Amino acid sequence: AQSVTQLDSHVSVSEGTPVLLRCNYSSSVPPYLFWYVQYPNQGLQLLLKYTSAATLVKGINGFEAEFKKSETSFHLTKPSAHMSDAAEYFCVVILSLMDSNYQLIWGAGTKLIIKP
C-alpha cells in the first residue's frame, strides 16, 4: 500500500534561515508526488509537483523539492525563510493514475513557524 509520512508535525525556523520539511513515501510503483501549502484560513494551493521528469523540482515562492528514489524521500526546502512562509505544508502521493479513479494520499501536514 502506498503511504506518505511527514516526519515533523511542526518546524520552527528564524526568518532568513533555511527551511527543511521532510516527507517520505512508500510506493510499489513509481510515484507522482507533490506539495501543497495552506496559508492560515485559506484553501490549499499547489506548491510544486514531481511527475518523473527532473528529480529537482522548483515551485512557487522559492521552494524546491528533490525526489530521491534510494531514500524514498521528497523533502521540501527553501534557502531563506520569510515571515510570509508561515503555513501548513502537505506532502501528497497519487494512488492511481486514472483520470476518474485515483486517490490522493495526504501526509498529516507540517506547520511551519517563522520566528522574527
Chain positions contacting another protein, by CB under 8 A:
4, 9, 32, 34, 41-46, 49, 51, 90, 92, 94, 97, 99-100, 102-109
Looking at the Cβ atoms of 15 and 88, the one nearer to another protein is 88
Give the span between the Cα atoms of 77 and 15, in whole angstroms: 14
Question: Minimum CB separation from another protein for residue 81, in Å?
Answer: 23
Per-residue DSSP letters for 74-116? EEEEESS--GGG-EEEEEEEES--BTTB--EEEP--EEEEEE-
Question: Minimum CB separation from another protein for residue 84, in Å?
Answer: 18
Question: Minimum CB separation from another protein for residue 65, in Å?
Answer: 13
Widest pairwise Cα distance in the chain: 45
Task: Report how far apart, in Å, the C-alpha atoms of 106 and of each of 5, 6, 34, 97 are.
Answer: 9, 9, 10, 16
Looking at the Cβ atoms of 19 and 32, the one nearer to another protein is 32
Looking at the Cβ atoms of 28 and 100, the one nearer to another protein is 100
Question: Minimum CB separation from another protein for residue 90, in Å?
Answer: 6
Looking at the Cβ atoms of 86 and 111, the one nearer to another protein is 111
